[in-house]
């Protein structure tokens, strides 16, 4: 079957992606329910672009990222990817033998550089491992030359190649994680909270490095994060998730200054603004995030929404394009005048 994406610039297009986890109980492990961790998510990323995927913890953003890289098998939906040869494939259903050669084109940067590096391997082995396993470069000398080149690229000295992870600071370790992800010249990099485990002073350095590498290597990023200040710094567009669904996507400035969904408005009110003359009142979010195993009827946000009306608890709103490239899932998106960051 021939797949098509929204246009030629689209590197990744996710359509109606679902990932449900069964809940089983009793001796016979009877199916008693489903945790709908990701429930019908759709978005696209153009080549060379950074899309931020944001939301509170447990909203399904990491599960979405893991499905895209097929670390988890999706329950339903399509994950269309334009390969280096220009062919569009559906990663959601691709068998493992056809997926394997594509793995070099998609890499992941993990949140915790302390946990994601093997403490018993030196830098040469950590960064050189994908070169050995996937590219089949057996010569240690050739691998060392390639590793030295990659280390320079991420701002580490090639002389460090024989050292082990414990000899490096948190920021340097995240550079090593980035170096390993870039070893195979990927086109899509999925970064799952890549700076949240780092000190604030180091976060900016790593973000600037990621942006510089994007320019030099024409990388495309899916940037999963909960820190909106970080997202504002690095992303071209942002998608907001709530209980397994997308509630709003828009270009970054549009989303930050003119949100159209009440949940996004509440998130924006909590973002600190650098200007001391601006004092925006934080919008409190009452109640807890609903469980994806037992979400409320209608709009999942209605028990916490200060703009909710009758229809909100009866009908689930669809994600609709209400302005150019600005998609919102809210029954009242056209009429509400919401506050943006610092508003
Ligand atoms: Fe609030 Fe209703 Fe919009 Fe949901 S659909 S966000 S409850 S106004």
Q: Is 283 part of a structural domain of the chain?
A: yes
Q: Is 318 part of a structural domain of the chain?
A: yes
> Measured in angstroms, how far is the CA atom of residue 36 from the centroid of ligand 1?
20
Q: Is 268 part of a structural domain of the chain?
A: yes
Residue pair 234/203 in contact (Cβ under 8 Å)? The answer is no
Residue pair 184/130 in contact (Cβ under 8 Å)? The answer is yes
Query: In which residue are the tokens 């509400």 written?
Result: 336
Let me know how many helices (H) and strands (E) the chain has, helices first: 9, 12
In this predicted structure, the answer to whether residue 177 has a pLDDT above a threshold of 90 is yes
Report the atom number in ligand 1 closest to the C-alpha of 311.
Answer: 2
- In a 3-state reduction of DSSP, which class is residue 221? strand
In this predicted structure, the answer to whether residue 275 has a pLDDT above a threshold of 70 is no
| Residue 186 binned pLDDT confidence (cut-offs 50, 70, 90) | very high
Q: Is 142 part of a structural domain of the chain?
A: no
From residue 217, alpha-carbon distances to 146, 192, 210 in Å are 16, 20, 10
Mean pLDDT score, 76-100 = 94
| Residue 196 binned pLDDT confidence (cut-offs 50, 70, 90) | confident
Query: Which pLDDT score is estimated for 279?
Result: 62
Domain that holds residue 240: 10-118+187-328
- In a 3-state reduction of DSSP, which class is residue 334? coil
**Per-residue pLDDT tens over the stretch 112-133:** 777 888 999 999 999 999 888 8
177 C-beta closer than 6 A to ligand 1:
no
Question: CA-to-CA distance for 130 and 181, rounded, in angstroms?
Answer: 9
- pTM here? 0.92
Q: What is the DSSP string of 176-220?
A: HHHHHHHTT--SEEEEESTTTTS-HHHHHHHHHHHHHHHHHHT-E
| Residue 255 binned pLDDT confidence (cut-offs 50, 70, 90) | very high
Question: CA-to-CA distance for 133 and 18, rounded, in angstroms?
Answer: 31
Residues contacting residue 289 through CB under 8 Å, at least 6 positions apart: 56, 58, 59, 242, 243
Number of structural domains (the chain) is 1
Report the atom number in ligand 1 closest to the C-alpha of 300.
Answer: 4
Q: What is the DSSP string of 40-104?
A: EEEEEEETT-EEEEE-STTSSHHHHHHHHTTSS--SEEEEEEE-TTS-EEETTT--HHHHGGGGG
312 C-beta closer than 6 A to ligand 1:
yes
Output the six-digit token pair for 176.
């090593």
Mean pLDDT score, 318-322 = 94
Output the six-digit token pair for 43.
């978005």
Q: Is 77 part of a structural domain of the chain?
A: yes
Q: Is 224 part of a structural domain of the chain?
A: yes
Cα distance from N-terminal residue to C-terminal residue, the chain: 49
Choose which residue among 332, 333, 335, 336 to substitute to test ligand 1 binding: the one with the highest number of ligand atoms within 8 A of its C-beta: 332
Residue pair 77/15 in contact (Cβ under 8 Å)? The answer is yes
> Measured in angstroms, how far is the CA atom of residue 20 from the centroid of ligand 1?
24
| Residue 276 binned pLDDT confidence (cut-offs 50, 70, 90) | low
Residues contacting residue 85 through CB under 8 Å, at least 6 positions apart: none
188-192 and 220-225 beta bridge pairing: parallel
Residues contacting residue 250 through CB under 8 Å, at least 6 positions apart: 237, 238, 258, 259, 260, 325, 326, 327
Nearest-CA residue for ligand 1 atom 5 is: 330
Query: Which pLDDT score is estimated for 211?
Result: 96
> Measured in angstroms, how far is the CA atom of residue 259 from the centroid of ligand 1?
13
Instruction: Please return the burial class of 278, using the count of CB atoms within 10 Å of its CB with bins 0-12, 13-18 and 19+.
Output: exposed
Q: Is 337 part of a structural domain of the chain?
A: no
From the CB of residue 186, how many other CB atoms can be counted at a distance below 10 Å?
19
Q: What CATH number does the domain containing 41 carry?
A: 3.40.50.300
pLDDT, averaged across the chain: 91
317 C-beta closer than 6 A to ligand 1:
yes
- Candidates 332, 282, 336; CA nearest to 302 is 332
In this predicted structure, the answer to whether residue 137 has a pLDDT above a threshold of 90 is no
In this predicted structure, the answer to whether residue 176 has a pLDDT above a threshold of 70 is yes
């Amino acid at each position: 079957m021939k797949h098509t994406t929204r246009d030629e610039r689209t590197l990744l297009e996710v359509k109606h992606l679902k990932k449900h986890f069964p809940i089983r109980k009793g001796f016979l492990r009877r199916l008693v329910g489903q945790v709908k961790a990701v429930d019908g998510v759709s978005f696209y990323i153009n080549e060379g672009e950074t899309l931020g995927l944001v939301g509170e913890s447990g909203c399904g953003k990491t599960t979405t990222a893991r499905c895209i890289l097929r670390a988890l098998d999706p329950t339903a939906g399509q994950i269309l990817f334009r390969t280096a040869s220009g062919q569009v494939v559906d990663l959601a259903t691709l068998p493992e033998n056809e997926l394997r050669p594509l793995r070099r084109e998609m890499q992941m940067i993990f949140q915790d550089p302390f946990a994601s590096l093997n403490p018993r391997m030196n830098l040469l082995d950590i960064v050189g491992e994908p070169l050995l396993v996937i590219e089949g470069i057996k010569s240690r000398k050739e691998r060392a030359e390639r590793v030295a080149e990659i280390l320079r690229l991420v701002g580490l000295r090639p002389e460090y190649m024989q050292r082990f992870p414990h000899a490096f600071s948190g920021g340097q370790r995240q550079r090593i994680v980035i170096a390993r992800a870039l070893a195979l010249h990927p086109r899509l990099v999925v970064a799952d909270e890549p700076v949240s485990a780092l000190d604030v002073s180091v976060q900016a350095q790593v973000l600037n490095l990621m942006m510089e590498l994007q320019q030099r290597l024409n990388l495309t990023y899916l940037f999963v994060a909960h820190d909106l200040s970080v997202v504002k710094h690095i992303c071209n567009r942002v998608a907001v998730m709530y209980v397994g669904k997308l509630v709003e996507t828009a270009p970054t400035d549009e989303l930050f200054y003119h949100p159209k969904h009440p949940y996004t408005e509440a998130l924006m009110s909590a973002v600190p603004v650098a200007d001391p003359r601006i004092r925006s009142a934080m919008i409190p979010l009452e109640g807890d995030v609903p469980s994806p195993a037992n979400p409320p009827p209608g709009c999942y946000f209605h028990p916490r929404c200060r703009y909710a009306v009758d229809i909100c608890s009866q009908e689930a709103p669809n994600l609709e394009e209400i302005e150019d490239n600005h998609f919102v899932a809210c029954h009242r998106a056209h009429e509400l005048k919401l506050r943006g960051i610092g508003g």
